[in-house]
Amino acid sequence: MTKLMNIQLIVMCIICLFCCSCQNEQLEDTDTKPLTACEVRFSLAAPGSSKLKSTDTYFDVGDRIGIYVVETSEGQSPGLTESGNYAHNKEFIFNGSTLEAASEEDKIFFPAGKALEFYAYYPFNKDLENPHSLHHKVSAYQDNLNEYMLSDFLIAKNVTGKSNETVYLVFEHKMALIEFNVSVDIENEVRSVKMLNPKMISLFNLMSGDTISVLDFERKDISMHLWGGWGSKTIKFRALVPSQTIKKDDLLFEIEMDNGIRKYKALKEVNLVAGEKNIFDFSLQYKIETFATGNGYVSEGGIYNYGQNVQLVATPFPGFKFEGWFEKNISVCDHEYYNFNVDNDRKLEARFSNEQYYKVVVFATQGGVAYTLKGDRYKHGERCIFIAEPNTWWKFIGWFYKDGNQIAFPNPVFELPITSDMQLEARFMYLHPSK
């Protein structure tokens, strides 16, 4: 009897030592020590690879991940099935360094003498029924950070036949990250940005990792998340959507600003690629309108980017005078050429005289000077005084029409009513000092 009790005591000690060994094994570094028929432990990335979740953001503490496990037999895998898997849609939570089972029922243990294959996805969906047709819908309210994060969708698998080892999961992005960078005038702040009418729902095969389809029956505008740059001249907004093609001329973004709403359309066909950051750089655009009052015409306005330099030209009809550029009845420029950098919508008026003017041009090639007393513009019938003054040792010959060979006016000073444009040359003859 004593011998039997001793044998029982020895057996109990061996069992205790085995259990302690397993427990101690769990506390050691999972990256270097194999496990011994114990609870499965995960690492979110293989050594040297990325732990990124949403292209350039990390998993957050509390993120929930779903895991399926398939048991293999002699190297043969039955594959992931709709039911009857070794572990079916178990919930795990990221704790800052690894994954923990959400409950005792979610824990997974290695079976003795058999290997396992693992399939994982984010975010966890407790109502998931068929892993071969996994339904994911992005949120229309991604201006909320939590809604933005839950709109992401990732898949990972490890089918190397793991048995009593740390299981590495490297996640692959299945959503397209949209980044909208908008250049703005700080005084005219952007309130919000929406992505207009994208597809919202995707179907995935968890086993193959493939996208089965992107459904077209439900589309909504998505409020984008402010990602950075607030208070600067370039603001970033982000949204996550399924991969899809945006057609040319489709409305793509809507920006709500302090002074109203602006919409932008695709200038060409755009393919939104899953797993990549799809960047759209925009400058705010403004409308410049021009119109003429009186006898003249102006260059057309148009739509211009914020900060773009614009030159407008006002041209009077022959015989009429440009009076200036005006905005809201206030003079902004006296010159026919008006240059400015665009920073808001503007409606500009070019004013021209209603009275007809004529242009008078006088010049001297050599030997003296020629001029008029009142400049070069004259109303119809207004009298103009012409003056020609020879230099020393030069003599005035007469006034000639341009390219003319006959004297039009013989006197160096004369007065004439103006009834048309005129161009006169004062000619002089050199006198030798001895004569």
**Tens of pLDDT, residues 146-163:** 999 999 999 999 988 787
pTM above 0.85, yes or no: no
pLDDT for res 196: 95
Q: What is the pLDDT of residues 320-357, one digit of tens each?
A: 889 999 999 999 999 999 999 988 889 999 999 878 88
Other C-beta atoms closer than 10 Å to the C-beta of 434 total 4
Give the mean model confidence (pLDDT) for residues 421-427.
94
Return the higher-pLDDT residue of 38 and 347.
Answer: 347
Distance CA 401, CA 367 (A): 18
Q: Are 350 and 296 in contact (CB under 8 A)?
A: yes
Give the mean model confidence (pLDDT) for residues 359-384.
92
pLDDT for res 357: 83
Q: Please report which confidence band the pLDDT of residue 186 belongs to, taking 50, 70 and 90 as the band edges.
A: low
| Torsion sign across C-alpha atoms 140, 144, 146, 149 | positive
Is beta strand 277-283 parallel, antiparallel or unpaired with respect to 175-183? parallel
Peptide bond into 111 cis (omega under 30): no
The proportion of the chain whose per-residue pLDDT surpasses 70, expressed as a percent, equals 86
> Residue 293 pLDDT > 80, yes or no?
yes
**3-state SS of 38-88?**
CECCEECCCCCCCCECCCCCECCCCCEEEEEEEECECCECCCCCCCCCCEE
Q: What is the pLDDT of residues 259-291, one digit of tens each?
A: 778 888 888 899 999 988 899 887 777 889 999
